[in-house]
Amino acid sequence: MFPDARILDVDLTNQRIGTKILPGEIYRLYPGGSALGVYLLLQEMEPGVDPLSPNNMLVFSVSPLTGLPISGISRVTVTTKSPLTGTIGDSQAGGFFPVHLKANGWDAVLFRGKAEKPVYLYIDGEKAELRPAEHLWGKVTGEAEKLIKEEIGDDRLEVAQIGPAGEKLVKYACIINMSNRANGRNGTGAVMGSKNLKAVAVKKAKPIAPFDKEGFSTLTKNILERLKNNPTVDGLGKYGTDGDLLGFHEAGFLPTKNWTTGWFPEGAEKITGTTMYDTILVERDTCYGCAVRCKRVVEVPGKVDPFYGGPEYETCATFGSYCGITSLETVALANQLCNMYGLDTISCGATIAFAMECYEKGLINKNDTGGLELNFGNSEVVPKLVEMIAKRKGFGDLLAEGSYRAAQKIGGDALSMTMSVKGQELPAHMPQFKPAVGLIYAVNPFGADHQSSEHDSFLTMPPDSQERRWIAQIGTWKGYEDTFELDDEKVRFAFDSQCYFSILDTLCLCQFVWGPCWELYGPSDLIDLCKYGIGWETSLFELMRVGERRINMMRYFNAREGFTKADDYLPERMFTPLPDGPSKGVCVDKEKFATALNTYYQFAGWDPETGNPTEATLRKLSLGWLLDK
Amino acid sequence: MFPDARILDVDLTNQRIGTKILPGEIYRLYPGGSALGVYLLLQEMEPGVDPLSPNNMLVFSVSPLTGLPISGISRVTVTTKSPLTGTIGDSQAGGFFPVHLKANGWDAVLFRGKAEKPVYLYIDGEKAELRPAEHLWGKVTGEAEKLIKEEIGDDRLEVAQIGPAGEKLVKYACIINMSNRANGRNGTGAVMGSKNLKAVAVKKAKPIAPFDKEGFSTLTKNILERLKNNPTVDGLGKYGTDGDLLGFHEAGFLPTKNWTTGWFPEGAEKITGTTMYDTILVERDTCYGCAVRCKRVVEVPGKVDPFYGGPEYETCATFGSYCGITSLETVALANQLCNMYGLDTISCGATIAFAMECYEKGLINKNDTGGLELNFGNSEVVPKLVEMIAKRKGFGDLLAEGSYRAAQKIGGDALSMTMSVKGQELPAHMPQFKPAVGLIYAVNPFGADHQSSEHDSFLTMPPDSQERRWIAQIGTWKGYEDTFELDDEKVRFAFDSQCYFSILDTLCLCQFVWGPCWELYGPSDLIDLCKYGIGWETSLFELMRVGERRINMMRYFNAREGFTKADDYLPERMFTPLPDGPSKGVCVDKEKFATALNTYYQFAGWDPETGNPTEATLRKLSLGWLLDK
């Protein structure tokens, strides 16, 4: 039988803490993470809520699998209505916090209302209490974490918190745990700030044991061999996510200077993962129980503190190539500041890059920026701007709204320079190179996201490669000579793989370990994980429907908020030929993209007129209760 | 990599035999059996073909798995345009023929055209030849098989053939192998007859070996223990499919006297499987490599020859309770005659039952029947009628057209007495008791069929039973207190389980071994079978889409022929309260059924106005090529 979900229900307004039990037969439909989060929101929240009002709800959730002794298992989802996009907000983070939240007996923590004064929640098993946090307000993450550990008297606590940016309601403020793991996107940190909720601290506890130890060991016993035989994951471990940056540039598809080009000859080599490995890297960090060790720890004496970890590929791109910055130290410093203040590095770097283009094209000038010279490549200005944004100081106050809102205020052609979908800035994978990823940027319920579907490039690998064999299990075995096509099969690949990634964000699994193209654990291993881990005899058919259900719940949430297909777009720049480098002349074919979008709706069972789930699709996914509400 | 399909392409008109190769990457979309058959028909056949004309095609097909050393693996599909229904025609049979067809190196045999004179096909590995069959024409199956073996000089041949009924184009003539296994339904035997094709004989050969012997042995090594611990399959082996007949009667849901009641107090005990076991059963027979041994061998000295096997549940019902017959010997004799002459026992028994009701209600009389008294319960008349039908003699010529066409000729209220869908007579599971099965009767592309979806009754078992745990893998874990409900979840169960059974009819697996409710091998074992058996790393997600693809190809075939939702119905009698016994007053709720039908179309992605697959659904299932044709 499927386990029940135990949910800590925290009313911040009344300072009341209760427990909700979701019976296993319902939990199985929404088995954790993001699916559980959006389920709880749809159950209780009315549409039209101001995301930064007490009426918004915010859910931390893990899954029935969280804490099992295997790689890629320690992830936590935060679900809320996003202040950045106005859509459902969804964000995942790793670390040790997720496992210990679950080890204390909780599948989710639901926050509602608003505390009169700053508080934090402390969880020790069944006990949970709200504690005053006025003395923590304004503190950067490292300091606040230290203070919390001291006052609880336990330096092994796990703390997920906001920094000053969340307190200041920066639209892309994030939630940080371990001072260097982020629930990065969608501005979930601002929602915590609006609720006067500084942090959630959990005492370490003993994680769950596998249901079938012997079976489970078949998955884990050869992990080092799996790693050794696996160049992809081995490279990820050695060079981190930034290992691919140089390759993207060489192909002409590294977003550079606010996406005006895909080519960064003056800087790519300086900010790529191998350079980081050879220069500032001092350690490889890991999440709970994970053998991959993809996390970076970097140090620049007197400038960058290893305590705050190190930059991912996305961060190297957004603060590096997006801004034309060629200094890895600057990127690392910007990363550190984001972790200290609690800012999403993607939206932060991309918003600065946007401002730089506006500056270079004369839409803003020194009068607007308080004297800062926002030219592409100006390394000095970037860390300053990060602080100004976090504190909403001067020009930073405008950029704290994100590029889309800032563009609306700047006026002129500025809107054409915001590289965002639904108000969320694009991550650093170019739709011109990966049109299926671009399609998902457009339709993803919580704005542009690169971790919500598989990338087109894997379909160019040999058909007998492990990657292709695993992709075949989720329904696509057509190969492509290059990545550029966007035919029916590619659209289906986009949708099917989106459903698969949606499973991962529901079960709170890391895509670098459990994604279908990372050769560590494939879809069939996932079935074994459920079976041996918790005795859940599932199938990829059941799980794919779980994934599809989550996506549909999110789209339904958005539909209630008034979102339609008009909000599913790509910035016009994607349809304009790239100007130089190896990708010169390449762009997304606008007509084909429109056709693919329509095909996607049809494949998803959404109304092509509105882009929203049809009643039939909701009912097929056991979501008829939404229609009855 | 997926294996290629090797197809023997036999043009009967020109007596030319060729070989077609379907590359593995296409074969994987239509991996055998019925899916491969309908694929070949859709590739080459135009709509509007007279089923009994040379322009019809007929395909025998097996699958990449056929011949693996495991239970439930030896099945062959015949696909053609059905002369009974005018729809796609589809029928499965077991035996040893399927394994040896494959062992000779063939995934399918495609027949086209019409031989000038009767012929049969003989296959010995790569060699295949058409041989004259004029001397076999008119012979019953046992004789013809003997003669073929003698003239080839090999008494170990496997022969699939028609009897005199197929030669006479009886609309529900079947194809018989081993003289007692039938591709029973849809009148496929008449198509062979129309082509002057008497038989396909295959030399025995060495079946394929598992790709991974060690892995494969995990499935087979404990088979006897699996059987011993399994009351369902153990009971099936001991008492055959007829073991449940008495139980159906006791519940009030044994179709009796042409479905005018569900209660057969005077006869149920006399014709049920335990009685057969205690009286006329002399042996339990098996298909290739199968440990279940569900097939009956019965003997009545001087009357019923064990050579022709013994009756299934369906046969005991259609010749027994449908006709009010209480004599098991009569049922066994009728069964033998059907196997000798090559007649589908379901349609044959049901058509006689229909005639009996017409007779009792005065729509026909002795003048019509040539003096026969067609009262319910008249044992003497039944064997006579079977012979008359097979030979199209006298009144038999009318009944040889099936109950639907006969009713049209009889006129009056006769149409209300034909218990058929799309012209095919209902099998013996009552929609009043199993509304999800009834729904599939209505929508199944090749007419009413009880082996195309899972039965509602399993959903009333305990949630931790193996049956329920396996059903959960195909998407339904809601339980029901009784079977009668027909809500959204039940409709989805009907559709999902239809897709699962569609996998089985594609991979040519026996539902009694591989169906989700028989406790021998469940969906997760099926994945292992593909992996260890042929190195196909698939998932239940891929397979369910295979199943859905097959159903959609069939519906598309029908749509080309002009079929619409108007052809998806149940006989009115299902909506009329049953008159007596434990089921007194029970009927299918007409309004709920109409709603469920509509829901089914929506869940299936079919146009609710026409009941046919939408373009989007076809494209999603990689069937866009149909639209381009």
CB-based contact A440:A452 (threshold 8 Å): yes
Q: Six-digit token pair at B166?
A: 């197929």
Question: How high is the pLDDT of residue B52?
Answer: 98
∠ Cα A545 A547 A548 (to 5°): 65
Q: Six-digit token pair at A276?
A: 């980081």
Strands of the sheet with B197-202, listed across from one edge: B127-132, B119-124, B197-202, B158-161, B175-177, B181-183
Find how far residue A254's CA is from the centre of its chain: 19
Amino acid at A323: C
Instruction: Evaluate if residue A519 carries a pLDDT over 80.
Output: no
Exposure string for A227-250, b = 16+ CB within 10 A, e = fewer: beebebbbebbebbbbbbbbebbb
Question: How confident is the model over A265-271, as a mean pLDDT?
Answer: 98
A517 band by pLDDT with thresholds 50, 70 and 90 = confident
Question: How high is the pLDDT of residue B562?
Answer: 98
CB-based contact A500:A516 (threshold 8 Å): yes
Distance (Å, whole) CA B181 – CA B510: 13
Distance (Å, whole) CA A164 – CA A158: 19
Question: How confident is the model over A76-81, as a mean pLDDT?
Answer: 98
CB-based contact B347:B338 (threshold 8 Å): no
Contacts of A622 in chain B (CB under 8 A): 488-489, 492
Q: How far apart are the first and last CA of chain B?
A: 28
Question: How high is the pLDDT of residue A375?
Answer: 98
Say if the Cβ atoms of A624 and B488 lie within 8 Å.
yes
- The string of DSSP letters for A250-307 reads HHT-S-BTTTTBS--TTTHHHHSHHHHHHTTEEEEE--TT-SS--EEEE-BTTTB-GG
Q: Closest to A540 (Cβ–Cβ): which among B469, B539, B599?
A: B539
Contacts of B544 in chain A (CB under 8 A): 541
B341 band by pLDDT with thresholds 50, 70 and 90 = very high
Rounded to 5 degrees, φ, ψ at B431 are -55, -25
Say if the Cβ atoms of A619 and B605 lie within 8 Å.
no
CB-based contact B570:B593 (threshold 8 Å): yes
Distance (Å, whole) CA B56 – CA B112: 7
Nearest CA in chain B to A546: B475
Question: CA neighbours within 13 Å on the CB side: how many for B187?
Answer: 30
What is the distance in angstroms between the Cα of B542 and the nearest Cα belonging to chain A? 5
Q: What is the pLDDT of residues B347-398, one digit of tens each?
A: 999 999 999 999 999 999 999 999 999 999 999 999 999 999 999 999 999 9
Rounded to 5 degrees, φ, ψ at B67 are 105, -10
Contacts of B463 in chain A (CB under 8 A): 1
Tallying the residues shown for chain B, one arrives at 629
Q: What is the pLDDT of residues A222-267, one digit of tens each?
A: 888 888 888 777 788 899 999 999 999 999 999 999 999 999 999 9
Q: Six-digit token pair at A301?
A: 């004496």
Q: Which residue has the higher pLDDT, B232 or B36?
A: B36
Tallying the residues shown for chain A, one arrives at 629
CB-based contact A446:A421 (threshold 8 Å): no
Say if the Cβ atoms of A523 and B538 lie within 8 Å.
no
Residue whose C-alpha is closest to residue B369's, from B381, B387, B351, B380: B381
DSSP bridge pairs for B91: B78
Left if phi > 0, otherwise alpha if psi is -120 to 50, otherwise beta: which for A63? Answer: beta
Q: Which residues contact A1 (CB under 8 A, 6 or more apart)?
A: A24, B463, B464
- What Å distances lie between residue A582 and A262, A377, A426, B551, CA to CA? 9, 21, 22, 47
Percent of chain A scoring above 70 in pLDDT: 100
Question: How confident is the model over B323-346, as a mean pLDDT?
Answer: 98
Best mutation target among A540, A548, A549, A627 (most B Cβ atoms within 10 Å) is A540
With an 8 Å Cβ cutoff, the interface of chain A facing chain B consists of 1, 25, 28, 463-464, 469-470, 472-475, 477-478, 488-489, 492, 523-524, 527, 537-545, 599, 602-603, 605, 614, 616, 619-620, 622, 624
Q: What is the pLDDT of residues B204-237, one digit of tens each?
A: 999 999 999 999 999 999 888 888 888 777 788 8
DSSP bridge pairs for B420: B425
A71 band by pLDDT with thresholds 50, 70 and 90 = very high
Question: CA neighbours within 13 Å on the CB side: how many for B375?
Answer: 4
Q: Closest to B540 (Cβ–Cβ): which among A540, A614, A622?
A: A540
Q: Do the strands A295-298 and A119-124 form a parallel or antiparallel pair, or are they unpaired?
A: unpaired
Question: How high is the pLDDT of residue A518?
Answer: 76
Q: Quick one: CA dihedral B166, B170, B171, B174, positive or negative? A: negative
Q: Closest to B616 (Cβ–Cβ): which among A474, A543, A603?
A: A603
Distance (Å, whole) CA A382 – CA A328: 12
- E-assigned strand segments in A196-251: 197-202
Which pTM does this prediction carry? 0.96
Strands of the sheet with A76-81, listed across from one edge: A16-22, A5-11, A108-112, A57-61, A76-81, A88-93
Amino acid at B1: M
Nearest CA in chain A to B24: A477
What angle, 0 to 180 degrees and rounded to 10, lies between the N-to-C axes of helices B590-604 and B435-443? 60
Residue whose C-alpha is closest to residue A63's, from A369, A449, A506: A506
Q: What is the pLDDT of residues B123-134, one digit of tens each?
A: 999 999 999 999
Instruction: Evaluate if residue B519 carries a pLDDT over 80.
Output: no
Amino acid at B193: G
CB-based contact A459:A471 (threshold 8 Å): yes
Distance (Å, whole) CA B533 – CA B539: 14
Question: How high is the pLDDT of residue B210?
Answer: 98
Say if the Cβ atoms of A605 and B603 lie within 8 Å.
no
Best mutation target among A541, A623, A628 (most B Cβ atoms within 10 Å) is A541
Residue with tokens 């040379």: B54
Amino acid at B415: L
Say if the Cβ atoms of A492 and B620 lie within 8 Å.
yes
CB-based contact B236:B243 (threshold 8 Å): yes
Question: If DSSP codes are grouped into helix, strand and coil, which group holds residue B89?
Answer: strand
What is the distance in angstroms between the Cα of A524 and the nearest Cα belonging to chain B? 7
Residue whose C-alpha is closest to residue B389's, from B361, B442, B425, B441: B425
The average confidence (pLDDT) of chain B is 97
B106 band by pLDDT with thresholds 50, 70 and 90 = very high
Distance (Å, whole) CA A555 – CA A90: 12
Residue whose C-alpha is closest to residue A554's, from A11, A38, A19: A38
Say if the Cβ atoms of B603 and A619 lie within 8 Å.
yes
- E-assigned strand segments in A75-118: 76-81, 88-93, 108-112
Residue with tokens 């650093």: A428
Residue with tokens 């703390």: A159
The single-letter DSSP state of residue A104 is T
A12 band by pLDDT with thresholds 50, 70 and 90 = very high
Q: Closest to B524 (Cβ–Cβ): which among A25, A539, A624?
A: A539
Exposure string for B376-404, b = 16+ CB within 10 A, e = fewer: bebbebbbbbbbbbbbbebbbebbbbbbb
Q: Six-digit token pair at A568?
A: 């599913």
Q: Six-digit token pair at A128?
A: 């949970």
Rounded to 5 degrees, φ, ψ at B297 are -130, 120
Q: Which residues contact A48 (CB under 8 A, 6 or more apart)?
A: A561
Q: Six-digit token pair at A311?
A: 């930059």
Amino acid at A150: E
Question: How confident is the model over A363-370, as a mean pLDDT?
Answer: 97
Q: How far apart are the first and last CA of chain A?
A: 28
Residue with tokens 């299934």: B312
Residue whose C-alpha is closest to residue B414's, from B456, B466, B361, B365: B361
Contacts of B28 in chain A (CB under 8 A): 477
Residue whose C-alpha is closest to residue A571's, from A455, A410, A407: A407
With an 8 Å Cβ cutoff, the interface of chain B facing chain A consists of 1, 25, 28, 463-464, 469, 472-475, 477-478, 488-489, 492, 523-524, 527, 537-545, 599, 602-603, 605, 614, 616, 619-620, 622, 624
Question: How high is the pLDDT of residue A330?
Answer: 98
CB-based contact A124:A203 (threshold 8 Å): yes
Q: Closest to B537 (Cβ–Cβ): which among A524, A544, A624?
A: A524
Distance (Å, whole) CA B6 – CA B27: 10
The single-letter DSSP state of residue B423 is T
